[in-house]
Chains A and B, each alone.
Chain A
């Protein structure tokens, strides 16, 4: 008996009136865990009952503790008829299973009903006593810590990073079972909520097991998603990065991190995956040309997979048979032809894929399949210094799949009412899904290799489902990581690889190309690094990761979005899937072109946090790419955008072109000023480094002032025609240019980005305002063209941003960080955009702004401190700047010990004081801050209390009475926030970091006065304290670093 769960029901308040006659309620509570149920006494005639129950004890396996939520149901006692349910509370026990997380759950929880929403609150106490389990073959993974944060959590350091973990579980969706026809909507919703809660518990446990197997103790960047596949079922899947984390404390700081503990690695040797050594993808890179930038994508198509056969012939699996290879190019070839001028890059892209695939096919004989489960993927988006060596570019893959309606006909209805037995019954199904994802991951892996990289960072996966068609997408950033921090065998690195030893300065090292200059995977325009002048850099860099904290950046950044709508014919089955997969390459290409143009329009040269979402609807596809553009000091200045008319001679046309050109040039100039992009005017001669074409370089700095023929000559000579020159050959192109210019820059006082922080802004105040906004547009006109659809979609996004600026105007000066847009096509003529972001206020005078603009000077100092200091990214730093500010100052060494002593008591004392603070004062509610970022400015996280992963369904049959869909969703989102806050507060926390809303699925039927919505949110519950006496703590890591630096020099 490995665990005892204890729960006590204290009291309720603000209960709804259940008895009309007395205007009161006779409430009692059922507490259920697994199959055991306890009841409290009925507390008659009160809306504020005081049950003060005994401790209900459940003796359970820790496996169940991980999977099951504690289920608390509040009911109204009725002598003559059935008791009426008031509502439920599900409490995830998981945070209590970790010794380092919360020790007790205690607080007021909203009582939630899927039909009525929040109906009062209940005060509950929950404790767990865990016994040490000696059973080695246990199924539980208690003690493995989970973090949604996609960086090493503050206060921890990564002793080792083990690599990619993934898992998925599948079950039938209760909403689509026959029993749903006879049960109430409430029962159906509750079955669904409970099932998903169970499934995510199981998923987390299974992932935990994998982590233990690898020798790790934590999962960082844990990303869990639901695929509501309708009749074909419900998939819950998760990916993450297994790590061995060590709590940062005085002792372990300097001595342990240089030698990664080898014990976990030996543990992992048992796994079969290690046996086959991945073939080294070394110097023989394909010399084919490809897309003009390090951005690769390969949509693959697929038709319906027959059940039980993951490797069926018709699936586009890069590593399988020849037929695939012949089919995939077809997709692209057609698209290339119709797109005219765009044919070039697409063809090359195809050629490349062919080669990659061939390569893989060859490799498969040498144990590729054996090795298939081992992917060098990392869900992390920011890394400890020295971890990330080089970045290649974005790699992405998409695949269109058909979901099978009648998946397990043999099983029929028998399992409908045995919801919990999915393990045994649907065992085959996860394998199908697994195989799908594996295909995609293989593809990603091979793309990364083509870029000369052995790892993919900032990796994420998502799906878009419409009826029976499903688009699976994965993307990440190809990179070279320092193997020092990796478990052996987690990356396949040739022993001869010298790339890690190159002493690139951290402020630019990651920009240096990872691939061989002579065998470039695509015709990039390489120059010597503008920062260190030793290595080559590309002219643009696209990545999915956060801007590395140590990167040298000029000026500020901004959110850049590419938006696209494509109509498609309504179709069914395979025809539909083919149509979609035919459209995908166009969409990818166009999104990419848009991004590129918009980047240049802002005079920037790199994108971070790139996220491309393609959403499928019945009659259209929506594409939305968001990223944060910056000007990396190490990269060359971007050229301007040149307009060229195809039909010369027409005087009107010429004038028109000139007018547009002027507008573009003006916009670029304006943007340069707005984002303070004044790259340091390097004097070429002074440096004397062997930089090729000095003339050309100097011209680039003032490119947009060049006369047209010069620029075009320049562009053509470098084969970058598409990126630089926009040809106005038809009205479409004119529209494109207009749409390019339509993006309004944020009003004064606002900055925007979709990454963690904005370069150039350091002095954040503690004011944060997290928000979620959802907008749905109904397209009234059925005969819309692609062009007008694009316009509508672009306006929708732009208007949303405008609304944010207006709403948050009181926070000026402020930056909207982590702007996360999600698009969906919930119904035929609806477009839904959901946004979650945080507005962070900063102090106007940028007193600390001394790092960025200095670029060249800084590098020398940077070089002095060695790369091996791994300590996680400054752990407790809320301000990214302090990391830098601390480093060069070698003076603050002595106060280290005292400062640590100064800090540690807080860790113990704080939670209690937080709790007690709730009892006095007028308000009994703890303020809980929420942010999608991994930190809260001005505070430091002293404890991670566990992961928050909640799924809610809300339904109404009185839509009008609740204020229409807007009213309905507004209160639902507010309720979800409230429940998240309540859970965090009950764990003793006061903030949620890395918060995200994964899903917001809204279905409505105004004619029937009905609507239903599903929301899934996640984040890390933390305790953070004000950074008032922060100097000691922040300097601690830095001191550790400087100590090491001193020792090394």
Chain B
């Protein structure tokens, strides 16, 4: 005696959020049943294992049928097959596109190619995310990447409209797309302490300030590619470290402003030239794609690590960078104020975010 067929179809599609999550997390039907049983589901409505199994199977089938629609969320709203109230649709989409930070941290900045996809089982093993879930998340990244690649207009807005995601999730996807496009290095050991949210924040800063879109919002790929002209202009900042007078003048201005305001003053004074060289060198090298990729590792090596070894606090960093940026404006012979501001604005907020006490 065996159940040959067992279906349950509601006019309004019934979807249990808990089962949906288990499905998204890549649990098999049997594992999902075990999880639900462990979660005390048996006590509800006098259920037994068969009931749970039947329910889980039904829901899994429904989700599988829905998956095609979830991959182009706009269709979910005007498809006729499943009657799903709008707020449930939003939930389904949001959850489908949600990802595990540990997983995305692993693929961030990698090329979204078949090669990377092959490594997913390793990543899965490393992060404890099931392969099925890894694949879904990876395919989501790739799908979003492909769609927005060819679109004009602001990146976050495009993602939000095409995939009907919340603002927060759209921003995260923008970061992922941005990182994948520019292939930023995030996997080095020195960068391991940074979370996805740290990078996402930085990506937001870069997108808003350093891309073509920051100045002109009509071109293609405007939010994905860095503004070439700006990168070129950054070379001009070299004067801050190559001109000895300027460097000294800058240092004295900063030191005057900082004196007495922090315990780390001595270290700041001692390291000023090194740190300034580090930051300006990063700026001047950004015309090379290779150096763009190393942007974050450079920030860590050239600035964050020295500060950390001197035990600066976050407040110290903030104080230092504020004065460092502002003092450059007072330098008479320094003419590149606009570029400097555009550069340092991003650097400042990225370092704040990346500097963990």
* Distance, CA A979 to CA B1, complexed state (A): 35
| Given A747-B46, A799-B50, A802-B46, A771:B11 Cβ within 8 A | yes
In angstroms, how far is the closest chain B Cβ from the Cβ of A461? 27
Q: Is B115 an interface residue (CB 8 A)?
A: no
**Residue contact A780 to B54, C-beta cutoff 8 Å:** no
* Distance, CA A121 to CA B64, complexed state (A): 21
The A-contacting residues of B in range 67-87, CB under 8 angstroms, are: 75, 77-83, 85-86
Q: Is A966 an interface residue (CB 8 A)?
A: yes
Q: Inside 8 A of B38's CB, which chain A residues have their CB? A: none
Cβ contact of A928, chosen from B6, B13, B54, B83, cutoff 8 A: B83
**Residue contact B4 to A118, C-beta cutoff 8 Å:** no
**Residue contact A792 to B1, C-beta cutoff 8 Å:** yes
**Residue contact B83 to A806, C-beta cutoff 8 Å:** no
Q: Inside 8 A of B89's CB, which chain A residues have their CB? A: 923
* Distance, CA A770 to CA B12, complexed state (A): 7
Q: Is B47 an interface residue (CB 8 A)?
A: yes
- B: interface residue count bin: 35 or more
Q: Is B5 an interface residue (CB 8 A)?
A: yes
> How many residues of chain A get a CB closer than 8 Å to chain B's CBs?
60
| Given A927-B83, A966-B57, A974-B65, A806:B45 Cβ within 8 A | yes
Residue interface bits A2-15, CB-to-B below 8 A is 1, else 0: 00000000000110
| Given A118-B80, A807-B14, A772:B1 Cβ within 8 A | no
**Residue contact A776 to B4, C-beta cutoff 8 Å:** yes
Q: Is A252 an interface residue (CB 8 A)?
A: no
Query: Quick one: closest B residue to A1002, CB to CB?
Result: B5
The A-contacting residues of B in range 1-56, CB under 8 angstroms, are: 1-14, 44-48, 50-52, 54-55
* Distance, CA A776 to CA B4, complexed state (A): 5
The B-contacting residues of A in range 103-127, CB under 8 angstroms, are: 108, 110, 118, 121
| Given A771-B8, A805-B46, A969-B5, A922:B80 Cβ within 8 A | no
Q: Is A778 an interface residue (CB 8 A)?
A: yes
Q: Is A982 an interface residue (CB 8 A)?
A: yes
Q: Is A777 an interface residue (CB 8 A)?
A: yes
Q: Inside 8 A of B7's CB, which chain A residues have their CB? A: 773-775, 966, 969-970, 973
* Distance, CA A921 to CA B89, complexed state (A): 14
**Residue contact B5 to A923, C-beta cutoff 8 Å:** no
Q: Inside 8 A of A744's CB, which chain B residues have their CB? A: 46
Q: Inside 8 A of B14's CB, which chain A residues have their CB? A: 769, 771, 807-808
Q: Is B58 an interface residue (CB 8 A)?
A: yes
- How many inter-chain residue pairs (CB < 8 Å) link A and B? 147
Q: Inside 8 A of A930's CB, which chain B residues have their CB? A: 11
Q: Inside 8 A of B2's CB, which chain A residues have their CB? A: 777-778, 780
In angstroms, how far is the closest chain B Cβ from the Cβ of A750? 8
**Residue contact B45 to A108, C-beta cutoff 8 Å:** no
In angstroms, how far is the closest chain A Cβ from the Cβ of B108? 31
| Given A769-B11, A806-B55, A775:B6 Cβ within 8 A | yes
Query: Quick one: closest B residue to A745, CB to CB?
Result: B46
* Distance, CA A121 to CA B47, complexed state (A): 40
* Distance, CA A806 to CA B8, complexed state (A): 12
Q: Inside 8 A of A981's CB, which chain B residues have their CB? A: 11, 80, 83
Q: Inside 8 A of A737's CB, which chain B residues have their CB? A: none
Q: Inside 8 A of A928's CB, which chain B residues have their CB? A: 11, 83
Cβ contact of B61, chosen from A747, A929, A967, cutoff 8 A: A967
Q: Is A723 an interface residue (CB 8 A)?
A: no
Q: Inside 8 A of A923's CB, which chain B residues have their CB? A: 77-78, 86, 89
Residue interface bits A900-931, CB-to-B below 8 A is 1, else 0: 00000000000000000000011111011110
Q: Is A891 an interface residue (CB 8 A)?
A: no
Query: Quick one: closest A residue to B8, CB to CB?
Result: A773
Residue interface bits A365-387, CB-to-B below 8 A is 1, else 0: 00000000000000000000000
Q: Inside 8 A of A925's CB, which chain B residues have their CB? A: 77-80, 83
* Distance, CA A771 to CA B52, complexed state (A): 18
**Residue contact B80 to A110, C-beta cutoff 8 Å:** yes
**Residue contact A805 to B80, C-beta cutoff 8 Å:** no
In angstroms, how far is the closest chain B Cβ from the Cβ of A25? 16
Interface residues of B (CB under 8 A from A): 1-14, 44-48, 50-52, 54-55, 57-58, 61-62, 64-65, 75, 77-83, 85-86, 89, 164
7 inter-chain pairs at a CB distance below 8 angstroms, sorted by A residue, are: A118-B80, A771-B9, A771-B10, A799-B50, A809-B44, A969-B5, A974-B65
* Inter-chain pairs besides A14-B75, A110-B80, A808-B14, 18 sampled, C-beta below 8 Å: A14-B79, A771-B9, A775-B6, A777-B1, A781-B1, A799-B50, A802-B45, A803-B51, A805-B45, A925-B77, A927-B85, A963-B64, A965-B5, A970-B9, A973-B9, A974-B13, A978-B81, A979-B80
